[in-house]
Structure 1
């Protein structure tokens, strides 16, 4: 409930802000491990939903967990090149199964966070970059909360041709006694004017846990200007990484 109140209140504040003349929709932040270098114009709103996300992983004791979660991200512009982000996971469903067959089911809300994205100076049609600072503002239920977290991330995009581009996402996350460093390179292809796809890899260095490595792909379809559907997946490349992550989503831009 706390997460829903935070998201609703900030949504109403954003929608009541003074709108600027309509502009071309910016790139959405989903799918993928990173985020786009575009920012939302002042007074405009982008809503991005996971419908839903799926995670399967197995721990060292052989306990397998499968989790379904619904996430939401609201983005709105504060000034040229600067946007506010509010995100949360209002619902989660998790099933735990031990090697002996005993199972447990959990449900609840995850954390909510607030962030500010800044599209740095010097970006052009060939090279663009942005930074994103986030912090947890409402802790979810114990089973689905990572505690107080703070993160600073950067995304860089390099256009190779009119169809191919490279990306690099980097993040430093701290909180609850942990420090996680993430690196995620990607290669994207604009297959048609409305369909794009990508390949990505993710490398996660945790200070008090084994490193993790993922690789995957995704596809997005611009149903019409300002409306996008997406699907994606990542698989673990070692025993300490999640077995499988899958996601589908809907994103809408309101100017």
Structure 2
């Protein structure tokens, strides 16, 4: 089992579109909804049975699970919420995000993922000022591919993600984030490596993890992260999952960051479940 995942961090920006006279976020949101409807319909056309207990969710953690849903299988993963806290340069920043992820099995060892920080609350405090913003966050579209050679002893998968700037003007990033990651798992050990390009530049993240407890209902892991370039990080974390039913999982996780450019603490509580 492996459950690693990252969510792109929304960075406040004052930039706003000027070529659309109505809602500036409507074109991007409409395109995401249309893509979801089309690909979901294609998945339903090639339905395949998959035991709910065999499904691995991507929450929680740094990376993602090296497995895909069977065709016409749908899963929803929701932060309730995910949170981060940072204190640097005399400024304290607290952020809560209702991070949502819809996963759709497409067949041919492929899976579609539609993600969004559906609601974001962010508070910044310093000696001179207090600021509070809230609104919708950015979204993403991704494809996961279970690579050839995967078997019961070793699985590996590739995930390509493209960010979509759907967030409110004071929450969305200045540039859409792009990620290309690979996750490899064998037994209780897993390694995740990801390349990222965003408004701060490019960088790499590597994260090993060890699942030290694994039963039919409860699992717990520890993980570490080392990032370079724009993704500079040094972090240690842990998490636990509880399979309350074959098709539903609860999770709790925490991550401590030590690099100046990353949040001091991140983590959260979430639920993942298969849709009928």
Matched, 1:217 2:238: yes
Matched, 1:189 2:212: yes
Mapped to 2, the partners of 1:71 and 1:238 lie a distance apart of 24
Q: Residues 49, 5 of structure 1: CA spacing in aligned structure 2 closer, same or farther, 3 A cutoff?
A: farther
State the partner residue of 1:162: none
Q: Pick from 160, 181, 193: which aligns with 1:133?
A: 160
Structure 2 portions without partners, runs of 5+: 1-24
State the partner residue of 2:135: 108
Mapped to 2, the partners of 1:158 and 1:180 lie a distance apart of 26
Matched, 1:237 2:266: no
Moved more, 172-181 or 127-136: 172-181
State the partner residue of 1:78: 106
Contact 2:162/2:178 (CA < 8 Å) preserved in 1?
A: yes
Q: Pick from 119, 127, 135: which aligns with 2:146?
A: 119
Q: Residues 129, 27 of structure 1: CA spacing in aligned structure 2 closer, same or farther, 3 A cutoff?
A: same
Q: Pick from 176, 179, 182: which aligns with 2:199?
A: 176
State the partner residue of 1:49: 78
Per the alignment, in what secondary structure is the counterpart of residue 170 of structure 2? helix
Q: Deviations over 1:34-68 (max 9, x none)?
A: 10011011111111111101110123x21110011
The CA RMSD over aligned residues, in Å, is 2.1
Q: Residues 32, 43 of structure 1: CA spacing in aligned structure 2 closer, same or farther, 3 A cutoff?
A: same
Mapped to 1, the partners of 2:164 and 2:96 lie a distance apart of 22
Mapped to 2, the partners of 1:90 and 1:63 lie a distance apart of 26
Q: Residues 89, 32 of structure 1: CA spacing in aligned structure 2 closer, same or farther, 3 A cutoff?
A: same
Larger strand fraction of residues: 1
**What is the TM-score normalised by the length of structure 1?**
0.88
State the partner residue of 1:31: 60
Mapped to 2, the partners of 1:189 and 1:253 lie a distance apart of 25
Matched, 1:18 2:45: yes
Q: Residues 92, 229 of structure 1: CA spacing in aligned structure 2 closer, same or farther, 3 A cutoff?
A: same
Per the alignment, in what secondary structure is the counterpart of residue 121 of structure 1? coil
The aligned length equals: 246
Q: CA shift at 1:80, angstroms?
A: 3.0
Contact 1:4/1:90 (CA < 8 Å) preserved in 2?
A: no
Structure 1 portions without partners, runs of 5+: 160-164
Mapped to 1, the partners of 2:112 and 2:209 lie a distance apart of 25
Contact 1:97/1:103 (CA < 8 Å) preserved in 2?
A: yes
Q: CA shift at 1:137, angstroms?
A: 2.6
